[in-house]
Amino acid sequence: MGDIIRIILLVVIPPLGVLFTVGFGLQFLLNIVLTLFGYIPGLIHAIWVVTRRNY
């Protein structure tokens, strides 16, 4: 159930998806900057962060 919520947050607000995946840190701050430049760069980065996560 947690993965579904993370994916929904990732699509709606990319930084929240990254925050819930890796926590507050460099990837989160980078995603905020990318999202401020445009929704698509932030979304691409968020997808990359969430899918490369090691379980």
Alpha helices in the chain (DSSP H): 2-12, 14-22, 26-37, 39-52
Q: Token pair for residue 6?
A: 């993370």
What's the pLDDT at 53? 66
Percent with pLDDT over 90 in the chain: 51
Whether the pLDDT of residue 15 is over 80: the answer is: yes
pLDDT at 54 over 70: no
Q: What's the confidence (pLDDT) of residue 48?
A: 92
**Full-model pTM:** 0.83
Distance, CA of 44 to CA of 34 (rounded, Å): 9
CA dihedral (6, 9, 13, 15) in degrees, to 10, reads: -20
Report in angstroms the alpha-carbon separations of 43 from 13, 22, 32.
8, 15, 10
**Structural domain count, the chain:** 1
Structural domain of residue 35, as residue ranges? 2-52
